[in-house]
Amino acid sequence: MDTNYLVSVCLCTYKRPGGLSALLGALLHQKDMLGPLEIIVVDNDATGSAREIVEEFKHQSNDIPIHYHIEPQQNIALARNRSVQEATGEWLAFIDDDEIPIPEWLSELVATALHYNADGVFGPVRAALPEGSPLWMYKGKFFEKKSAQKTGDAIPPSGTRTSNTLIKASLMKSRKTLFDPKLGLTGGSDSHLLADMLVKGAKFVWCNDATVTEVIPASRANFSWLMKRWYRNGQIHVDQTIEAKGKRAYFKLILWGLGGVGSALLVAPLMLPFGLHRSVMWLRKGALGLSYLMASFTSFRYEPYRSRS
């Protein structure tokens, strides 16, 4: 690709001024870069609420250009698509507006991609829980994201996401369709797209040292929010499975759903003496199982991106 930039950071944001400020500050202090960097900010708020923050950082950015765009329709898939369209780098780095990368984040991702001749690299997401969060939440590590164990390991389709991810731009831009707007309110457009790339022969690997930290707000650090997130993950899995395997997959999904709900009801109470976090782990299976059943039998889809916090 004929470009001056090695990496374009693709960043979508929606009414998170504190998170956006922290993230832009961290991006402007990336170390040991192997080539020039640009930052693409796509504001998914039609009012342009992030514009003022971006303008402030533009004056601090020195040699790193920050480009600001608005995607007026609230739809995370459309916002991601806009970020890809505006990017000109050889590599596209995706990160969420509530995450903060280490100073070596981009250099570790790029070095890993080059070393393993990979089309994409995924890194771990640690969680910074708010003060006063219950002990079971720390023990369960329910907000952590990890797709593999050691650097160089292959990423399975179930481990794909755009949270701390580097993808070869030519791989993205060669596709007729990118993130599916039909999944722009339910979520899952990222895992859907990247899993399809894997099926079609892309090579994605893990980098254990390219760490970002997700700052968890108090509004999410609770059992109710976690159950909703797991339910959402389940319905995404159902839709992806049906698209890949057709209606013949319904029977297996229903069995998984019944098994998840049944095992949660049976085992979760038995785990209480061994720690509340262990019970919650089994309740997670129940949330997934319930979503399998609901998504298999009904058209209802939980849409967390319609009103994000």
Is the distance from CB of 179 to CB of 77 less than 8 angstroms? Answer: yes
pLDDT for position 1: 41
pLDDT of residue 172 exceeding 70: yes
Give the Å distances, CA to CA, from 292 to 47, 99, 255, 296: 37, 29, 9, 6
pLDDT for position 241: 85
Q: For the segment 205-218, what is each residue's pLDDT rounded down to a tens digit?
A: 999 999 999 999 99
Whole-number Å distance between alpha carbons of 179 and 193: 6
pLDDT for position 302: 83
Give the list of residues 6+ apart from residue 18 with CB closer than 8 angstroms, or none: none
Whole-number Å distance between alpha carbons of 158 and 25: 31
Least-confidence region, from 39-43, 145-149, 217-221:
145-149
pLDDT of residue 113 exceeding 90: yes
Share of the chain above pLDDT 90, in %: 81
Of 7 and 62, the structure prediction assigns the larger pLDDT to 7
Six-digit token string for 275: 């720690």
Q: Work out the average pLDDT over 53-68.
A: 92
Six-digit token string for 263: 């095992």
Q: Work out the average pLDDT over 158-163.
A: 92
pLDDT of residue 108 exceeding 50: yes
CA proximity to 40, closest of 78, 82, 76, 73:
82
Surface-to-core class of residue 33, CB atoms within 10 Å of its CB (0-12 exposed, 13-18 middle, 19+ buried): middle
Phi, psi of 78 (to 5 degrees): -65, -40
Whole-number Å distance between alpha carbons of 280 and 2: 50
Whole-number Å distance between alpha carbons of 34 and 253: 45
Q: Work out the average pLDDT over 194-204.
A: 95
pLDDT for position 143: 95
- Enter the pTM of the model: 0.90
Least-confidence region, from 47-56, 167-176, 235-244:
235-244
pLDDT of residue 308 exceeding 60: no
pLDDT for position 2: 46
Q: What is the 3-state secondary structure (H, E, C) of the chain?
A: CCCCCCEEEEEEECCCHHHHHHHHHHHCCCCCCCCCEEEEEEECCCCCCCHHHHHHHHCCCCCCCEEEEECCCCCHHHHHHHHHHHCCCCEEEECCCCEEECCCHHHHHHHHHHHCCCCEEECCEEEECCCCCCHHHHHHCCCCECCCCCCCCECCHHHCCCCCEEEEHHHHHCCCCCCCHHHCCCCCHHHHHHHHHHHCCCCEEECCCCCEEEECCCCCCCHHHHHHHHHHHHHHHHHHHHHHHCHHHHHHHHHHHHHHHHHHHHHHHHHHHHCHHHHHHHHHHHHHHHHHHHHHHCCCCCCHHHCCC
